[in-house]
C-alpha cells in the first residue's frame, strides 16, 4: 500500500511539472504511468479510489500551490481557510472525477491489452469532461493544456477542443503502463505492444493533422489588419474594493493610453477587467477625462469595470464597456459566468466568504448580449475566468464575433497562476480560429493569432502599453458546429468498455453456475 501511494503521489508531481512555470511538457506523455500502474495493482476497489484522490491532491498542489495563499489573502483570512478551500476544490471539484476514472480503469484491465490504451484515454477524457462541466466547472490543468505552445499538437482543437490533445497523451501514457504491467509475460507483452502501436498511430495522425492545418491557407484571415493597443496598469486595488479606491488608477491608465495615441494611434485600446474602480455611467467627469485622451488619436476604448442595472434593490454586474473617442458609452457586456466565492456567494451566510467591493457586495450574472461593435470588428467578450470555458467563446462566435477579447485581473495572484491561465485562454483562438486580444492587469497581456501563435506579449507584473494588429474572421470551425461531441463520444466509449469488462468477468461465473445446475 505505501508503494502504491508513493507511485500515485509521484505521478501527481510529474503531471504538475508539465505545466507552467516549470513547464516540462514532455512529462505530459509519461506522467500518468506510475498512477495507472498503481491503480491496476491496487488489491481492492477502495484502494484504487484512494489512489485517485491522492493523485488529485498532490497534482492539484503541484499545479496550484498559489491557491492556498491567494485565497487567504483575497479574503483576508488565516492560511487554514485557504487550506480548507483547497481541499474542498481538490476533492469535490476534481478528486471525485479521478476516483471514478480509477474505478473504470481498474475494470478495463480485464479486457485485451491492445484495446486498453484507447479505452483508458476515453475514460480519462470522460473524467476531465465531467470535471470541467459539473457543479461550477473546474477546467484547470486539464492534461491537454500542458502542451500549449506545441503548435502541431494544438491544431486538433478546432475539431475536438482540448480533449483531443488530452486523449492522445492519455493513450500514450496508458500504452506505456500496459507495457510495464506485461513485462514478465510474452503473450501479454505482445498485446501491450499492439496497444502501443495503436496509441502511436493516433498520435501520428493528430500531429499530421496539425502540420497540415498549419500549412492551410485561410485559417488566418486575409482581411485588412486593424491596429489595437493593450494597456497593462499593474496597479493594485486591494484585495477588496473599498471606498478609498473609488476612482483610483484612472490617471495611470490614461497616461499609458496617451503614450499609445500620440504617435501611431490604434483603432481600439483595451484595458483590463477592474481597470475602472468607479461606476462609469454615474461619473460624467471621468467619462469626459477619458474622452479627452481618446480624442487625441480618435480611438475607441474597451474596458472593464462595475455597473449597476437596478436601484431598488441595487444589482451590480462585472462589465465591459465600449466607449467612443468622445468618452460616450456605446455598448456594454455583463459577465455571465461569475467566479464562485470571488464574485458570487453560494454560502453567503458565512461572513468570511463575503467580498466587500465598496458599494459592490456581490455581482449578478448578466443577460445574453451581442458582441461589442468595435472599430476592429465584432468583439466576443469573455471576462477573465469565462475564457476558461470553451463553450462561452463558441457562443460568442455564433453570435457573430469576428475576434475574441479577454479582459483579466491577475494582480492578486502569482506569475504561475497567470501563465497557466494564459495557456488555457490561448487555446480558444485555435478552437474558434479567431484572433484573441487579452488585456490583463498584471500580465501577460497578449495578442494570439488563429493558429495559437502568440504574436505580442507583455511581461509579468510590469506597467506597459503595447500595440499590435489583428484581423477579423468569419470562419466557423468544426468544433464550433459540434461542440464537445468528441468528449461525449469518449464518455460513451468508456462506458461501453466498462460494460464489456463487466460482462467478461461475469462470463466464467455464469458458466460455472450452469455446470453446477
Which residues, including other chains, have CB under 8 Å from residue 154's CB and lie 6 or more apart? 147, 148, 165, 210, 427, 430, 452
Residue matched to cell numbers 511538457: 25
Residue labelled with grid coordinates 510474452 = 186
3-state secondary structure of 347: coil
* Alpha-carbon distances, residue 48 vs 11, 35, 106, 275, 445 (angstroms): 14, 10, 8, 47, 42
Beta 403-408 vs 377-381: how paired, if at all? parallel
- Which residues lie below 8 Å from residue 36, measured CB to CB, with a gap of 6+? 11, 105, 120, 173, 174, 177
Length of the chain, in residues: 517
Whole-Å CA distances, 461 to 160, 272, 413: 34, 13, 10
Sign of the Cα pseudo-torsion (201, 204, 210, 212, in order): negative
Q: Measured in whole angstroms, how far is the alpha carbon of residue 469 from the centre of its chain? A: 24
Using CA atoms in the order 411, 353, 277, 265, what is the torsion angle rounded to 10 degrees? 40
> Three-state SS string across 305-340, please?
EEEEEEECCEEEEEEEEEECCCCCEEEEEECCCCCE
Q: Report, as residue numbers or ranges, the catalytic residues.
A: 273, 335, 384
- Dig out the grid coordinates for 228 from the structure: 489595437
Residues 159, 150: Cα–Cα separation, whole Å: 17
Contacts for 146 with CB less than 8 Å, ≥ 6 apart: 15, 18, 19, 25, 27, 28, 169
Q: Which of 283, 268, 249, 404 is nearest to 333 (CA)?
A: 404
Buried b (16+ CB within 10 A) or exposed e, 100-125: bbbbbbbbbbebebbbbbbbbbbbbb
φ, ψ (nearest 5 deg) of residue 100:
-65, -40
- Report the candidate in 2, 115, 91, 106 with the shortest Cα–Cα distance to residue 46: 106
Residue 48 has a CB neighbour count (10 Å cut-off) of: 24
The C-alpha atoms of residue 276 and residue 327 are separated, in whole angstroms, by 14
Strand-pair category, 372-374 with 377-381:
antiparallel
Amino acid at each position: 500500500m505505501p508503494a502504491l501511494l508513493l507511485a500515485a503521489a509521484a505521478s501527481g508531481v510529474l503531471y504538475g511539472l508539465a505545466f507552467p512555470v516549470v513547464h516540462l511538457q514532455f512529462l505530459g506523455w509519461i506522467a500518468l504511468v506510475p498512477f495507472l500502474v498503481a491503480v491496476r495493482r491496487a488489491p481492492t476497489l477502495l484502494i484504487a479510489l484512494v489512489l485517485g484522490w491522492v493523485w488529485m491532491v498532490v497534482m492539484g498542489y503541484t499545479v496550484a500551490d498559489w491557491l492556498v495563499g491567494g485565497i487567504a489573502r483575497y479574503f483576508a483570512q488565516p492560511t487554514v481557510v485557504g487550506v480548507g478551500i483547497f481541499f474542498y476544490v481538490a476533492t469535490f471539484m476534481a478528486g471525485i472525477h479521478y476516483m471514478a476514472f480509477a474505478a473504470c480503469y481498474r475494470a478495463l484491465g480485464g479486457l485485451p491489452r491492445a484495446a486498453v490504451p484507447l479505452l483508458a484515454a476515453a475514460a480519462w477524457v470522460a473524467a476531465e469532461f465531467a470535471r470541467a462541466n459539473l457543479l461550477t466547472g473546474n477546467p484547470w490543468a486539464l492534461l491537454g493544456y500542458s502542451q500549449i505552445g506545441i503548435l502541431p499538437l494544438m491544431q486538433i482543437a478546432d475539431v475536438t477542443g482540448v480533449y483531443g490533445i488530452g486523449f492522445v497523451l492519455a493513450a500514450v501514457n496508458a500504452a506505456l503502463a500496459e507495457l510495464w504491467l506485461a513485462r514478465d509475460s510474452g503473450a501479454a507483452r505482445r498485446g501491450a505492444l499492439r496497444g502501443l502501436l495503436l496509441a502511436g498511430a493516433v498520435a501520428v495522425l493528430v500531429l499530421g493533422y496539425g502540420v497540415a492545418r498549419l500549412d492551410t491557407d485561410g485559417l488566418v484571415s486575409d482581411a485588412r489588419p486593424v491596429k489595437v493597443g493593450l494597456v497593462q496598469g499593474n496597479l493594485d486595488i486591494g484585495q477588496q474594493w473599498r471606498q478609498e479606491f473609488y476612482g483610483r488608477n484612472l490617471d495611470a491608465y490614461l497616461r499609458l493610453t496617451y503614450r499609445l495615441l500620440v504617435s501611431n494611434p490604434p483603432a481600439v485600446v483595451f484595458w483590463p477587467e477592474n481597470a475602472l474602480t468607479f461606476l462609469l455611467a454615474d461619473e460624467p467627469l471621468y467619462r469626459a477625462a477619458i474622452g479627452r485622451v481618446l480624442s487625441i488619436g480618435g480611438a475607441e476604448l474597451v474596458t472593464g469595470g462595475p455597473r449597476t442595472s437596478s436601484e431598488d434593490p441595487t444589482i451590480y454586474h462585472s462589465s465591459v464597456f465600449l466607449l467612443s473617442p468622445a468618452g460616450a458609452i456605446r455598448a456594454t457586456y455583463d459577465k455571465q459566468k461569475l467566479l464562485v466565492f470571488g464574485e458570487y456567494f453560494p454560502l453567503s451566510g458565512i461572513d468570511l466568504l463575503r467580498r466587500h467591493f465598496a458599494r459592490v457586495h456581490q455581482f449578478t450574472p448578466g443577460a445574453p448580449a451581442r458582441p461589442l461593435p468595435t472599430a476592429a470588428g465584432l468583439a466576443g467578450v469573455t471576462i477573465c475566468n469565462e475564457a476558461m470555458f470553451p463553450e462561452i467563446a463558441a457562443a460568442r462566435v455564433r453570435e457573430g464575433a469576428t475576434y475574441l477579447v479577454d479582459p483579466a485581473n491577475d494582480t492578486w495572484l502569482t506569475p504561475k497562476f497567470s501563465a497557466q491561465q494564459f495557456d488555457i485562454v490561448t487555446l480558444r483562438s485555435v478552437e474558434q480560429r479567431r484572433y484573441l486580444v487579452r488585456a490583463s492587469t498584471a500580465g501577460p497581456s497578449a495578442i494570439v493569432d488563429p493558429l495559437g501563435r502568440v504574436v505580442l506579449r507583455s511581461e509579468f507584473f510590469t506597467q506597459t502599453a503595447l500595440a499590435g494588429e489583428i484581423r477579423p474572421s468569419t470562419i466557423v470551425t468544426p468544433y464550433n458546429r459540434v461542440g464537445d461531441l468528441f468528449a461525449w463520444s469518449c464518455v460513451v466509449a468508456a462506458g461501453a468498455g466498462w460494460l464489456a469488462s463487466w460482462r467478461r468477468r461475469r462470463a466464467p461465473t455464469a458458466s460455472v453456475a450452469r455446470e453446477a445446475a
